[in-house]
Amino acid sequence: MLINISTFLSIPIITTLTIILTPSKNKRFIKLIALFGAILTLLCSIYFFIQYYQMAFAFNNGCKHFNLVFQEKKIWYTSFGITYFVAMDGISVLMVFMTSLVICMGVLASWKEQKRCKEYFSLLFILVFGVLGVFVSFDLFVFFIFYELAVLPMYLLIGVWGTGKKEYSAMKLTLMLMLSSALILVGILAVYNYSPIRTFDLILLSHTRFSVDFQYWVFPCFFVGFGVLGALYPFHTWSPDGHAAAPTAVSMLHAGVLMKLGGYGILRIAIYLLPEGAQEWCGFFMILSTINIVYGSLGAILQRDLKYFTAYSSVSHCGFVIFGLSALNFIGFKGAVLQMFSHGIMTALFFSLIGAIYKRTKTRIIYDMEGLSKIVPNLSAYFFVAGFASLGLPGLAGFIAESYVFLGGILNNPWVNNNYAIFVTTLSITSIVVTAVYVLRGLCQIFMGKILNKQFFLLTDVDIYEKICSFTLISVLLAVGTFPLFFINLIEISIMPIVNRLYL
């Protein structure tokens, strides 16, 4: 193997250190270093993607015992059972690729950033290092360290480089995510203490049969802890404020990547380790996720600020992830993972385009803009594609993901009354109509009609960096929507062990 996971994880750290050692006045060189580090991270993630898919293909043709790949396992602290255990499966590979792609596009979207470039790009890559570490960690202690590294830079990135109520938004986000971390830590320590082998190794812990009473109280700690990061209702309020105040690249990483740690943690840890707890609580969390979906859609209709508009849309779309996970079946899990990926790419595209619009018009208020398609046709076309992806147009990634989520809800599971499941699923499906209303109305308001502001005639269309960013993200959305089986085959082998623990 040409590269291992540890070498891969070292890329964002080496990039950060190189940026720190570069004189602050060399802003262009700092950006080139950041871009080189981001491209190298993306290329490595593509390498892992291809290598894993070849192995998965071999498995589908006869291999009966496919396990984690690219494994590295070293004892870190023997007396406490802490192990440096990193590996990848299909879910990890997909999430790593998404993260690498979003940071690469985020660097391009930040190309004209001038304020304290050294600190800005350093914090971005520390955040990326934490997120990548979460997606490849199979030791809960190491997982939690990476998790904290992923969420802590957000305070500075929003508080220093943000706009509007940036200090308030940064503090609110930090406090809510600290609550999330506290609940997750309680769950991790409870699982560690209850296990007779006293280990943080996720695979070894899965061999422990936790009592039903234990699972009933520990599972909601994990689910709510991770759910806060996934904008679970009613703990979602930090997300719209954080999105609105964050700079463009941070919004891309925040919505596109960071919020996916919530759904990933629920699936990888909560449901996998505590299947009986999941069976007990799934009906309740289906209700909360349905509120997420409907409330986020209705909230988006009322927004005048483009970032709040997209942020409430993200709350609704993240609700699909939690709904798919709460369905507790194979189809729902596949839909949840695909939704994490498709929403990550879609919101990264949305926020990069919002940043491009704000840079030109100096406003994010929807009703202050009209007729922009006549002045910036390429930017308008990209925005329409993002909008169509948001409302789940066939041929784009969102359609496939949401279809699987809704099918999972209707088929449901033995632990939830079927009529109840069909009712909440139907209620969730109605959000598609609401989504179509706010997306199409917003697109028409901003890009159609007469030009209200004569200064808009002076606007320029997308530059080369914005073209590359938009075209790349749109291509991925089209690829998933057009060839979904390629991505479904990638993840379904990794989902089966979780489903088996629920049903066996």
Structure confidence by residue, pLDDT tens digits, 236-257: 888 888 877 888 888 888 888 8
Kindly write down the DSSP assignment for every residue of 23-56, as one continuous string.
Answer: -TT-HHHHHHHHHHHHHHHHHHHHHHHHHHHHHH
Return the closest-CA partner of residue 441 out of 302, 327, 337, 263.
302
Summarize the confidence of residues 250-267 as an average pLDDT: 87
Alpha carbon distance 233, 262 (integer Å): 13
Least confident of 59-68, 283-292, 305-314, 416-425: 59-68
Q: Which secondary-structure segment (H or E) carries 463?
A: none
Question: Using one digit for the tens of pLDDT, what is the confidence trace for 423-432?
Answer: 888 888 888 8
Question: Using one digit for the tens of pLDDT, what is the confidence trace for 310-331?
Answer: 888 888 888 899 999 998 889 9
Question: Using one digit for the tens of pLDDT, what is the confidence trace for 105-125?
Answer: 988 888 877 778 888 899 999
> For tokens 């989902």, what's the residue?
495
Strand partners, 137: 86
- Of the two residues 64 and 262, the one the predictor is more confident about is 262
Q: Alpha helix locations (H) across 327-368?
A: 330-361
At residue 335 the predicted structure's pLDDT band, cuts being 50, 70 and 90, is very high
Least confident of 13-17, 39-43, 95-99, 202-206: 202-206
69 phi and psi angles, rounded to 5 deg: -120, 170
- For the cut 70, the answer to whether the pLDDT of residue 64 exceeds it is no
Return the closest-CA partner of residue 87 out of 6, 192, 207, 149.
6
Alpha carbon distance 87, 154 (integer Å): 26
pTM: 0.92
Alpha carbon distance 63, 43 (integer Å): 28
pLDDT at 299: 85
- For the cut 90, the answer to whether the pLDDT of residue 136 exceeds it is yes
Alpha carbon distance 504, 487 (integer Å): 26
Radius of gyration for the chain, computed over Cα atoms and rounded to the nearest angstrom: 22
Cα dihedral sign, 501-502-503-504: positive
Alpha carbon distance 420, 228 (integer Å): 25
At residue 391 the predicted structure's pLDDT band, cuts being 50, 70 and 90, is confident
Contacts of 27 (CB under 8 A, 6+ apart): 114, 117
Q: Six-digit token pair at 31?
A: 């950006």
- For the cut 90, the answer to whether the pLDDT of residue 65 exceeds it is no
Chain-centre distance of CA 174, in angstroms? Answer: 18
Report percent pLDDT > 70 for the chain.
97
